Structure 1
Amino acid sequence: MKPPIPFPLALNIGTDIVHLPRIARLLTRHNGTYLARFTRRILHPREQADFRARFPLSSSPVPLHNPQTQSQAQPQSQTKSHPHPSPLEFPETITPDMTRWLAGRFAAKEAARKAAPRGAAQLGWKDVIVRVSAVDEGRPEVVYLGASEGDRLGKLSISHDGDYVVAMVLAAG
């Protein structure tokens, strides 16, 4: 038997699946103040700007209108973990669309990290940008920032179905 012919291109594939209720629970932690921490942690500044453009945040801190936390809601100024909140950190509501968008970014970035040439351990959340391609008919793509030869593109497929978001990234090896 002849040995198999190797694949002709050096490609890496990464896949991730996210359960939307898990992300919703994360975002509503600490009466919703975890949203700001989550977005600062996983989103590059360009993605944060896109997030704010899609989901405008209130200009003053207000309690969340979340049925699970409304009875426990207290003024944000009394929250122990954030005694001096930044006004842009608190949305008036954490909507299902906001949760779905952030879950999609999370899944796409995790898939991109897995597909990175040197693996996920060598790449931070902000080293990858998820964007809509200006060239390829508005398809989503990932941009690996700071490679030695410049930024590199990866192909992204993302799908939302019910309580799940799945992302797959194909990147040059």
Structure 2
Amino acid sequence: MQPLPFPYALNIGTDVVHLPRILRLIGQRGARSKENYLDKFTRRILCQQEQQDFRTRFAVHNHADSPSKVTPDMARWLAGRFAAKEAARKAAPGGASSIGWKDVLVRAAPSTAAGSGRPEVVYLGVESRVGKLSISHDGEYIVATVLAADDR
């Protein structure tokens, strides 16, 4: 008997991040520049709105001469964004190689009368699309799963 195809045009992506890896990474200093890796990392993976949210939430200033102190909360927030974006890239219709880090926005869905918004991803571009996000933190690990519509 031939198996039936999945009846919905959906993609799923999952990623797991080890928090100590992110903490170690963003605590590094560049070998040839005064810039700390925190600034480089946030510019590489966060879209403009997320960069602003990060600076506001953690009172971070982008000055190479006065590097920001990396905190565990900061690392946890960034690790969550990293896991969510990687899961979103895997769930993108063309796969992870078809979309960049800054092409995905991680946010809380707009609040409704029923309560606060759940986390979601927004695929930025010509046609902004929303994907469903589940993210969990447990000790040293962060896991994110994204469910997104396919273009089929």
Q: Give the TM-score of the pair, scaled to structure 2.
A: 0.88
**Shift in alpha-carbon separation, 1:120–1:86, aligned structure 2, 3 A:** farther
What percentage of residue pairs aligned between the two structures are identical? 64
Matches within 5 A, 1:47-86: 47-57=50-60, 85=64
1:168 aligns to what SS in structure 2? Answer: strand
Determine the C-alpha separation between the residues in 2 that align with 1:113 and 1:152: 13
Matches within 5 A, 1:1-173: 1=1, 3-30=2-29, 33-57=36-60, 85=64, 90-91=67-68, 93-135=69-111, 137-147=116-126, 150-173=127-150
1:30 aligns to what SS in structure 2? Answer: coil
1:134 aligns to what SS in structure 2? Answer: coil
What letter is aligned with 2:149?
A: A
What letter is aligned with 1:154?
A: G
**Shift in alpha-carbon separation, 1:86–1:143, aligned structure 2, 3 A:** farther
Uncovered stretches (5+) of structure 2, i.e. residues with no partner: none
Determine the C-alpha separation between the residues in 2 that align with 1:5 and 1:114: 23
Determine the C-alpha separation between the residues in 2 that align with 1:135 and 1:10: 27
Determine the C-alpha separation between the residues in 2 that align with 1:17 and 1:153: 21
Divergent runs of 4+, >3 A: none
What letter is aligned with 2:119?
A: P
What letter is aligned with 1:46?
A: Q
Determine the C-alpha separation between the residues in 2 that align with 1:97 and 1:5: 46
Larger radius of gyration: 1
Quote the RMSD (CA, aligned, Å). 1.8
Q: Give the TM-score of the pair, scaled to structure 1.
A: 0.77
Length, aligned pairs only: 143
